Amino acid sequence: MKLVGTVLALLAGVMGLAAGAYLVAATLLARVAIEGQPAVRDGVEVFVCTNGVHTDLVLPAVSRSMDWTTELRRSDFPGADPWTTHFSFGWGDRAFYVETRRWEDLRPATVLSALFGGGPTVMHVYALYTPAGSPDCGALTLREGQYRALVDYVRGSFRRDGGGVVRPLPGSGYGLTDLFYEAVGRYSPIDTCNEWTGQGLRAAGVTVGAWTPLEGGVMRWVR
């Protein structure tokens, strides 16, 4: 029993050190800027929003570069207002996202699955009215070319059928204004939901940290 206790204590120590090293790396690398293009005043306004843990990219429903209503059926969002102006996009682990609708739904098995990675991923989409002025969001103005690069990044994160159509998961939304879709990629502690947001911003030529696995590492660049 003493040996078992010693082994468990060592494992706990190793896990603690690993968690500490992860947090240090996430904090430091989120502050190392990957320089993007200079900011502009005129262009396409996009938002990066947070719930305190997870970040989303919020894009215009219709713009010169992209009409999202051609890919996302209005019937997928039956509760959306007719004056919907934006769609928010958030990528993440399917089990964690779909099965954890409230924090009280969180289960150890779901956490372990997300931590060790390898499971299927989803794209969570909300139909909403502009979040301009929200304290939970930061606004960015992108050149047309930058916005097209961001659109390409988000579009490329959806899993599609043989005809190139996105693949919704019927009945998976938290309400009548959101829905989950199958996504590509695998979630891991390295490629997190927030790093997905960071990668999108880098693809669009926005100055952001070198690695942004945590919410704060993203939001510090857009507020």
pTM of the model: 0.90
Kindly provide the residue ranges of all beta strands, DSSP E only, lying in the chain, ordered along the sequence. Answer: 33-34, 44-50, 55-60, 86-93, 121-128, 137-142, 178-182, 208-209
Output the pLDDT for position 82: 87
DSSP codes of every residue in 115-149: HH--S-EEEEEEEES--TT-TTEEEEEE-HHHHHH
Q: Is residue 3 part of a domain?
A: no
Structural domain includes residue 131: yes
**Domain count for the chain:** 1
Cα separation, 149 vs 131, in Å, equals 22
Low-confidence ranges of the chain (pLDDT < 70): 1-18, 100-118
Residue 5 lies inside a defined structural domain of this protein: no
Per-residue pLDDT of 23-63, as tens digits, reads: 999 999 999 999 999 989 999 999 999 999 999 999 999 99
Q: What angle do CA 146, 72, 127 make, to 5 degrees?
A: 80
pLDDT of residue 119: 78
Max Cα distance, the chain (Å): 68
- Residue 12 lies inside a defined structural domain of this protein: no
Handedness of CA 190, 194, 200, 201 (dihedral sign): negative
Residue 9 lies in a domain: no
Look up residue 169 and give its two tokens: 């998961």
d(CA 154, CA 135): 24
Residue 87's pLDDT is 98
165 within domain boundaries: yes
Instruction: Name the residue range of residue 201's domain.
Output: 31-219
Report if residue 84 sits inside a domain.
yes
